[in-house]
């Protein structure tokens, strides 16, 4: 039997997953690392911790699976988007790795937008603190000495590949998420370079997602694999997640709901929305992903667990001496929400705990409850939070259908998509059939499929649709759909009215 490994470099951990050439998962190994916040709004990491995690997780799956090194025919990469790292002439980092969640460049967004109004239409990346373009404008102003020492500007995947293979390359998919790639020319955009204050030679050479590199002998030894094992550059995690669940044909969209969330649809050529609500990233030259990512997915439920319902015990169990604070779990919150009818009896929650990317692209956005009455209980609050997360994604979905075409089926993945209550809420709020595949590591699977095509084991990416096994299907319930559509109208109208107040609130706090 022959195998490939999909390595998924995420914000909180790296996972390496072993698949056979038929697309079946065989083994998995993961390793977490620290996300630091040394000052408010920071979200940074040590890039060498991530390199180490890629090596150790690959070594882990090889050891645990007991495969022979010659049977491993390739390794391919998925990676988180919008990461930024500056390295010097000796290829050593001179900054921490800035992740998408680092918002310290927020004040530079309007400056970049006003001086370069066509950047979104040119590059497909909305102007937001997550953008490496905006982060570089901030670094140039705040740390000019460090900025001047930068020989290269790279993402985490580029840094890992250089450590593995001693080459500086960037795949088309990651390149399209940097804000520097001109969608029409597939070359680095001159205005984006000017906005960031960098030169073309500071960026890596753009290659296809199927491009192969040669592994350094020392790295092969650390992982107990053959030195001639091909390394395929792969793509970015969002587009690969679409691929990994089989959402690559018209009429299908992928929705991911974990700590954050996203909804994405494949299109045949790069597109942008009329307003800067949606991103557009490459999977391959011929397949592009339109969609929107939200900051506030499961993180809103985590906040609910910690702040609204910490250590709460249901009334019928409060007399039991064994009920302890540790019983505060996501399962318990879901049980609380299930006691309340759809719509939470008129209670609406805007889930912007961490500011927001799509649909607002506003780091100053804040969460709120609307319609709170004396009759509302803790259970209502929990239900409203869960529904609010999906209302928010539904507004992104509306914009996606307008720009990318009608969607008949949603394919859901992520930790919360495996809750029966969430599944039904998704179907009812989106008024679409929701399919939940058995695949858990969709981005790693997508990376493995890229490797299988690059190595000639599969004829094309479309073969994946026959490999995706379905765990559950949920259909919308007409009564619930009708109620949710009315509430969604209220949710959107409130959101429009609140937008002008977020900056005023921040000014009041700071003043």
Q: Could you tell me which CATH class the domain 298-436+477-510 is placed in?
A: alpha beta
Rounded CA-CA distance 246/463 in Å is 9
| DSSP three-state, residue 257 | strand
Q: Does the pLDDT value for residue 321 go beyond 60?
A: no
* Position with higher pLDDT, 96 vs 101: 96
Q: Does the pLDDT value for residue 63 go beyond 90?
A: yes
Rounded CA-CA distance 340/346 in Å is 11
What pLDDT band is residue 12 in, cutting at 50, 70 and 90?
confident
Report the percentage of the chain scoring pLDDT > 90. Answer: 84
171, two tokens: 């795949």
Closest CA relative to residue 102, chosen from 124, 117, 80: 80
Tell me, yes or no, if the two domains 3-244 and 298-436+477-510 fold the same way. yes
What is the mean pLDDT of the segment spanning 165-181?
A: 98
> pLDDT digit string (tens) for 409-443?
999 988 777 789 999 999 999 999 999 998 778 99
Helix orientation angle between 378-404 and 478-510, rounded to the nearest 10 degrees = 100
Buried (b) or exposed (e) across 217-252, using 16+ Cβ within 10 A? eebbeebebeeebbbbbbbbbbbbbbbbbbbbeeeb
What pLDDT band is residue 446 in, cutting at 50, 70 and 90?
very high
Distances (CA, A) of 334 to 337, 390, 392, 418: 5, 14, 19, 12
> pLDDT digit string (tens) for 74-83?
999 999 999 9
Rounded CA-CA distance 490/485 in Å is 9
Q: Which residues pair with 36 in a beta bridge?
A: 44
E strand or H helix that includes residue 226: none
What is the mean pLDDT of the segment spanning 250-277?
A: 90
What is the mean pLDDT of the segment spanning 486-501?
A: 94
> What pLDDT is recorded for position 91?
98
What pLDDT band is residue 2 in, cutting at 50, 70 and 90?
very high
> What pLDDT is recorded for position 108?
96
What pLDDT band is residue 182 in, cutting at 50, 70 and 90?
very high
- Residue 58, CA atoms < 13 Å, CB-side half-sphere: 29
> Does domain 3-244 fall into CATH 3.30.420.40?
yes
Question: What residue spans define the domains of the chain?
Answer: 3-244, 298-436+477-510
Helix orientation angle between 330-338 and 378-404, rounded to the nearest 10 degrees = 90
Mean pLDDT for the chain? 93
What pLDDT band is residue 314 in, cutting at 50, 70 and 90?
low
Q: Which of 104-108, 147-151, 197-201, 505-509 has the lowest mean pLDDT?
A: 505-509
What pLDDT band is residue 316 in, cutting at 50, 70 and 90?
low
Q: Does the pLDDT value for residue 298 go beyond 90?
A: no
Contacts of 263-267 spanning 24+ positions with Cβ under 8 A:
263/291, 263/292, 263/393, 263/396, 263/397, 263/400, 263/410, 264/238, 264/239, 264/289, 264/290, 264/291, 264/400, 265/289, 265/290, 265/291, 265/400, 265/404, 265/405, 265/407, 266/242, 267/404, 267/405
Rounded CA-CA distance 439/447 in Å is 13
Intra-chain end-to-end CA distance of the chain, in Å: 66
Q: Which of 294-303, 413-422, 451-460 has the lowest mean pLDDT?
A: 413-422
One-character DSSP codes across 234-246: EEEHHHHHHHHTT
What pLDDT band is residue 279 in, cutting at 50, 70 and 90?
very high
> What pLDDT is recorded for position 306?
86
Report the percentage of the chain scoring pLDDT > 70. Answer: 96
């Amino acid at each position: 039997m022959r195998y490939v490994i999909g390595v998924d470099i995420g914000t909180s951990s790296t996972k390496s997953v072993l698949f056979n050439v038929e697309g079946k998962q065989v083994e998995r190994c993961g390793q977490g690392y620290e996300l630091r916040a040394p000052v408010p709004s920071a979200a940074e990491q040590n890039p060498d911790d991530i390199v180490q995690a890629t090596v150790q997780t690959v070594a882990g799956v090889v050891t645990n699976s007991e495969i022979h090194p010659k049977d491993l025919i390739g390794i391919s990469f998925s990676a988180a988007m919008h990461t930024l790292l500056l390295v010097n002439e000796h290829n050593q980092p001179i900054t921490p790795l800035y992740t998408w969640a680092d918002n310290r460049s927020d004040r530079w967004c309007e400056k970049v937008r006003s001086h370069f109004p066509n950047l979104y239409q040119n590059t497909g990346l909305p102007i937001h603190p997550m953008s490496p373009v905006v982060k570089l404008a901030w670094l140039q102003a705040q740390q000019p000495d460090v900025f001047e020492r930068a020989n290269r500007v790279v993402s985490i995947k580029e840094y890992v590949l250089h450590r593995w293979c001693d080459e500086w390359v960037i795949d088309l998919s990651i390149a399209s998420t940097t804000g520097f790639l001109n969608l029409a020319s597939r070359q680095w955009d001159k205005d984006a370079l000017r906005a960031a204050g960098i030169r073309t030679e500071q960026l890596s050479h753009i290659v296809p997602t199927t491009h192969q590199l040669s592994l350094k002998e020392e790295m092969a030894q650390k992982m107990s694999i053959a030195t001639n094992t091909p390394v395929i550059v792969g793509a970015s995690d969002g587009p690969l997640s679409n691929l990994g669940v089989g959402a690559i044909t018209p009429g299908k969209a992928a929705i991911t709901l974990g700590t954050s969330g996203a909804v994405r649809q494949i299109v045949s050529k790069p597109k942008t929305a009329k307003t800067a609500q949606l991103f557009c990233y490459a999977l391959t030259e011929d397949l592009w992903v339109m969609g929107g990512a939200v900051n506030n997915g499961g993180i809103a439920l985590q906040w609910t667990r910690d702040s609204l319902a910490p250590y709460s015990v249901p009334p019928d169990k409060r007399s039991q001496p064994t009920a302890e604070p540790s019983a505060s779990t996501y399962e318990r919150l879901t049980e609380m929400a299930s006691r309340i009818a759809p719509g939470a009896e008129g209670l609406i929650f805007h889930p912007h705990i961490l500011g927001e990317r799509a649909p607002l692209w506003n780091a100053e956005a804040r969460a709120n409850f609307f319609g709170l009455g004396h009759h509302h209980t803790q259970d209502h609050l929990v239900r409203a939070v869960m529904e609010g997360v999906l209302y928010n994604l539904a507004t992104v979905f509306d914009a996606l259908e307008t720009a990318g075409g009608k969607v008949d089926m949603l394919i859901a993945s992520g930790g919360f998509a495996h809750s029966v209550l969430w599944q039904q809420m998704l179907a009812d709020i989106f008024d679409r059939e929701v399919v939940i595949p058995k695949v858990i590591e969709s981005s790693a699977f997508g990376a493995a499929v890229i490797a299988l095509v690059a190595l000639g084991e599969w004829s094309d990416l479309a073969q994946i649709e026959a490999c995706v096994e379905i765990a559950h299907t949920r259909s919308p319930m007409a009564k619930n759909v009708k109620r949710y559509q009315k509430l969604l109208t209220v949710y959107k109208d409130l959101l429009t009215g609140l937008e002008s107040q977020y900056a005023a609130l921040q000014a009041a706090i700071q003043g």
